[in-house]
Amino acid sequence: MNYEFIDALEQIEKEKGISKEILFEAIEAALISAYKKNFNTAPNVKVHIDRDTGKIRVYSCLTIVEEVKDPQQELSIAEAKALSSRYQSGDVIEMEVTPKNFGRIAAQTAKQVVIQRIREAEREIIYREYVDREDDIVTGIVQRTDQKNIIIDLGKAEAVLSPSEQMPNETYKQGDRIKTYVVEVKKTTKGPQIMVSRTHPGLLKRLFELEVPEIFDGTVEIKSVSREAGYRSKAAVYSSNPEVDPVGSCVGPKGVRVQTIVSELKGEKIDIIKWSEDPKEFVSNSLSPAKVTSVEIHEDKKIAGVVVPDYQLSLAIGKEGQNARLAAKLTGWKIDINSESQMKKQLSEETEEIFPEAGLEEEELETLDEEIDVDEEVDDEEVDDEEMDDEEMDDEEIDDEEMDDEEIDDEEIDDEEIDDKEIDDEEIEK
């Protein structure tokens, strides 16, 4: 060990970022192991390297006792007093036992330890650097393919893009520069293992942060993202500043910002919608580009019933249900989509259950109307008969009254005749 060794450690510290003190401690621990192995000594050995000169000293730690039983670990109090009068029984004294040829052994051991320690330190540095970048985006170069896994060179480390995290419509060629999303960083015996993804919804969110300054500074917030990698994605955005249009900010002038992201994702379609606290409005927006007629929210079942025009039904559902599926993921609501004609039919069926006559066909309705008309005619005839009966009864009553009047008149005539007779009798008497 000499000054050149110290200079070498300082150079390693600068290039690799490994503290020189860590290297010194590692070399001292390795030299202790080498000394015990080569000189068959007891375990109570200490090695010290001078930080300035690099000189190595080996010390044997002995315990002062009254009676020595193990000379490799103990020292008599008489021998200790001969070295210094201040030593007492029970004290531990360090005695230098550096071998003459220990420099060669130390150099070989130090070389191996330094190399191993550098590797471990580099792995630890890389792990600490990338473990803090989980859920972040990194740029790398495609290096090679290993059993369908794509190995990406990130500079200081290599990342693994597994088949499940690869986009279905994308091919990776050696030398291609791609952006990936860091999913997980694991610490292994061979160093940190960095798992990245091209299909994760977080990749879309981070790409928007890179391209849209309003998102980066917090003016516009991405509330939720749903994605089917390689085909279509939806992003719900919101701005706390009423003067800032969140959708327009993400689209950019003439669609430049969103088009950059689409190019990075190899043509994946992106729908940007406005987030809202009102579930009805949010669900309606999420089905864009389809136009929604009405939305009915069922809080208890977490279901949103949506009605769209007939010509918008296929657009709202999307190819193989993609648009509705992405909207459900984006909003967190189960979305039930019906056309206006379907809703009318459903309402008529429900009405028929309550009022069976409402579900009769036209012929049946006409028959029912005819029956109603016949019944009305019969009722009218009955009414007429009743009126006639009443009139007859009235005439009879009138006749009876006339007869009564005639009887009264007859009585009056009889009374007059009686009066006349009485007058005649009077005249006869005279």
pTM for the predicted model, two decimal places: 0.63
C-alpha span between 281 and 272 (Å, rounded)? 15
Kindly list the distances between the CA atom of residue 271 and the CA atoms of 24, 87, 116, 287, in Å, as whole numbers in the listed order: 58, 83, 52, 10
Q: What is the pLDDT of residue 363?
A: 52
Residue 144, beta-bridge partner list: 151
C-alpha span between 211 and 204 (Å, rounded)? 11
Q: What is the pLDDT of residue 108?
A: 73
The H-or-E segment that residue 324 falls in is helix 322-331
Residue whose entry in the numeric block shows the structure tokens 């960095």: 194
Residue whose entry in the numeric block shows the structure tokens 């069922």: 298
Among positive and negative, which fits the CA dihedral 155, 156, 161, 165? negative
427 by DSSP, 3-state: which? helix
Residue whose entry in the numeric block shows the structure tokens 């193990």: 70
C-alpha span between 77 and 372 (Å, rounded)? 132
Please provide the DSSP assignment of 169-183 as one string. T----TT-EEEEEEE
Residue whose entry in the numeric block shows the structure tokens 């190819």: 319
Query: Where do the H-state alpha helices sit in 212-339?
Result: 213-216, 246-251, 256-264, 279-286, 313-317, 322-331
47-85 burial, b if ≥16 CB within 10 A, otherwise e? bbbeeeebebebbbebbbbeebeeeebbbbbeebeeeee
C-alpha span between 208 and 238 (Å, rounded)? 13
- Which of the 8 DSSP states describes residue 90? T
Longest dimension (CA), the chain: 208
What averages of pLDDT result for each successive group of 10 residues across the chain (430 residues)?
Answer: 73 80 82 74 76 80 78 76 76 76 69 77 85 90 90 90 90 91 89 92 93 91 93 94 92 92 92 93 92 91 92 91 94 92 81 58 50 47 46 45 44 45 44
- Which of the 8 DSSP states describes residue 327? H
Nearest to 24 by CA among 10, 43, 44, 45: 10
C-alpha span between 398 and 82 (Å, rounded)? 167
C-alpha span between 313 and 290 (Å, rounded)? 8
Tokens of 430: 């005279």
C-alpha span between 245 and 319 (Å, rounded)? 29
Contact 73, 62 (CB under 8 A): yes
Residue whose entry in the numeric block shows the structure tokens 């071998």: 99
The angle at the Cα of 87, spanning 81 to 88, to the nearest 5 degrees, equals 105
Strand 92-96 vs strand 149-153: parallel, antiparallel, or unpaired? unpaired
Strand 158-161 vs strand 191-197: parallel, antiparallel, or unpaired? parallel
Q: What is the pLDDT of residue 348?
A: 77
Residue whose entry in the numeric block shows the structure tokens 């981070």: 206
333 by DSSP, 3-state: which? coil
